[in-house]
Structure 1
């Protein structure tokens, strides 16, 4: 997956938005005003930070060398995924979906209703 594919997939999520609140190098994806993914545009290789259930986060780190505790994030709830050939695109999409769903579930009821969730 490259940056364009990552961006397109994140923005395909209902009501997802993108912004650059941390500067020109960091692309942030939000739903309901809360971050569900962020990526550094100048990182080599490409990485993405994703919210994750704490138990699953540990499991993924143990299973995949390319999954690490969230860089500059709460390491209990966030993973940094190095997007390389060791990560299948289908797995990455599943992890993006999981991150998005966790954020949507954390939104107030009125915000979830606006999203149709």
Structure 2
């Protein structure tokens, strides 16, 4: 998947998530998606390629980096808790969408008081 497609898939998924908002606290070169004021996804091309930066559980982040050459530690973020998705051939749309959703849920569960959650992470995305 090329960089623009990578970022577009990630952006499309982020915009579907309840309570998600696009902000630009670091200027025009950075799209920062937040839920209840907490960052769950960043997009930029300041590295010379379009990248997506997402939160992940540390064990998941290690496994993803080991399984996909297009996933590296989070660019300018905590390397244990964040990953960077790079353009290339190894990531498909479903994986990108799943990683965006997981990042969103990670931020809700670990950074947002439960009373402020726009969804219940334990049932989100499951048939009712």
Task: Provide structure 2 residue ranges, at least 5 long, that are not aligned to the other structure.
Answer: 121-128
TM-score using structure 1 length: 0.90
Aligned residues: 115
Question: Which ranges in structure 1 are unaligned for 5 or more consecutive residues?
Answer: none
3-state SS of the aligned residue for 1:35? strand
CA contact 2:7–2:52 (8 Å) conserved in 1: no
**TM-score, reference length from structure 2:** 0.82
Of structures 1 and 2, the one with the larger relative CO (CA 8 A, separation 6+) is 2
Q: What is the aligned partner in structure 1 of residue 114 from structure 2?
A: 109
Give the root-mean-square deviation of aligned CA atoms: 1.5
Instruction: Verify: 1:12 aligned to 2:26, yes or no.
Output: no
Q: Distance in 1 between matches of 2:106 and 2:65?
A: 18
* Structure 1 stretches of 4+ moved >3 Å: 2-5, 41-45
* Counterparts in 2 of 1:95 and 1:4: CA distance versus 1, 3 Å: closer
